[in-house]
Amino acid sequence: MPELPEVEILVRHLRPALRGKTIREITVHRERVIRPTTVRALKQALRGATFTGVTRRGKFLLFALRRKRKPFTLLGHLGMTGRMYLQPAKEPPPRHAAVVLGLGKENFIYEDPRYFGRLTLDTHTLDQLGPEPLGKKFSLGYFGAGLASSSQPIKHRLLDQKFIAGIGNIYASEAMFLAGVPPRRAGKKLRMDYGVRLHRAIRHVLKEAIRCGSTIPLDWRGGKGGDGLFYYGTAPGAGEFYEERLNVYDKAGQPCPVCKTIIRRIVQAGRSTYYCHKCQR
DNA sequence: CACCATGTTCCTTG
DNA sequence: CCAAGGAACATGGT
């Protein structure tokens, strides 16, 4: 589920749910998700620490904590299949629980069937992230210069987290469609008027996804009477959102919603790109 | 069995 | 040093 909008929605739910809660127990089921932090170091840092806030940077979650008056950050990433949520401590952790933090009556669960995500004390990777696409530093000038200096295909550029933090495979295709930009065009060969359109489209698709609570099917199951417990995952009845909101992603073989041309799927840098050959040229 | 998957990181080659 | 391409990671869905 996780691109920038999904992480943003998750952060907004986790922030009030975690604030003020103290970690009493730490269980690491998969050491690879905490690397390079060791189990010993993680336990030493987290035991007795209290959550003071949750923020986002690109697709990363930043858990602000304080222990013995000293503030520090725990960094989270959902990879492809990660989920983070609270559940009653009496319920058994899910099959693919990677890390479980005991908070008293509740457990903070980080589960991830593929274990591609992270929950670590090492925040070094944040230094390399580019600007937030919805922030001030992602200016038209920055974006235009970043494209003009690159011979890489536009699609490839959009996924480069050092250039822009938070765009993933779904919203890259969607933004290019809205802007009428051909995915294989080299950055430096894109006409500036299309650069302007793409810049606007990126912000638009991300904002819309956030506004909808996400374009991807997901649902928050409030516990009994909205007590802060919730569930991050697919919603049985959310299919309609998905169909309506996404124009091209995963729509190969289906008609373009604008011109009815059949949507194509190509592979770039080992990943699928979906586009309308007629609208994007 | 085959192929695909919302992401990052590492390694090789040029 | 950089860029490009591919594999690896690990599991589940179709």
pLDDT one-digit tens code per residue, A193-204: 999 999 999 999
Q: Cα–Cα distances in Å, from A74 out to A8, A120, A196?
A: 16, 6, 36
Measured CA A144 to C1' C1 distance, in angstroms: 25
Pick out the nucleotide with least CA–C1' distance to A77.
Answer: B7
What is the gyration radius of the CA atoms in chain A, in angstroms?
Answer: 20
Residue closest to C4 C1′ by Cα = A269
Distance, CA of A56 to CA of A256 (rounded, Å): 34
Per residue in A111-164, pLDDT (tens digit) is 999 999 999 999 999 999 999 999 999 999 999 999 999 999 999 999 999 999
Put residue A92 in one of left, alpha, beta given phi > 0 → left and psi -120 to 50 → alpha.
beta
Measure, in angstroms, how far nucleotide C7 C1' is from residue A195 CA. Answer: 33
pTM of the model: 0.91
Residue extent(s) of CATH 1.10.8.50 domains in chain A: 140-215+247-275
- CA A54/CA A52 separation, integer angstroms: 7
Q: Which nucleotide is nearest to A216 (CA to C1')?
A: B6
Segments of chain A scoring below 70 in pLDDT: 1, 214-244
| 8 A C-beta contact, residue A274 and residue A249 | yes
Residue A135: predicted pLDDT: 97
- In DSSP terms, which residues pair with A273 in a beta bridge? A266
Q: Which residues pair with A97 in a beta bridge?
A: A111
- CATH match for A4-128 among 3.40.50.300, 3.90.1150.10, 1.10.10.10, 3.20.190.10: 3.20.190.10
Paired with A109 in beta bridges are A85, A100
Instruction: Measure, in angstroms, how far nucleotide B7 C1' is from residue A59 CA.
Output: 10
A95 exposure class (CB count in 10 Å sphere: 0-12, 13-18, 19+): exposed
Catalytic residue among A30, A184, A203, A271: A271
- CATH 3.20.190.10 residue ranges for chain A: 4-128
Task: List the catalytic residue out of A21, A59, A83, A157.
Answer: A59
What fold characterizes domain A140-215+247-275? Helicase, Ruva Protein; domain 3 (1.10.8)
Active site residue A131: no
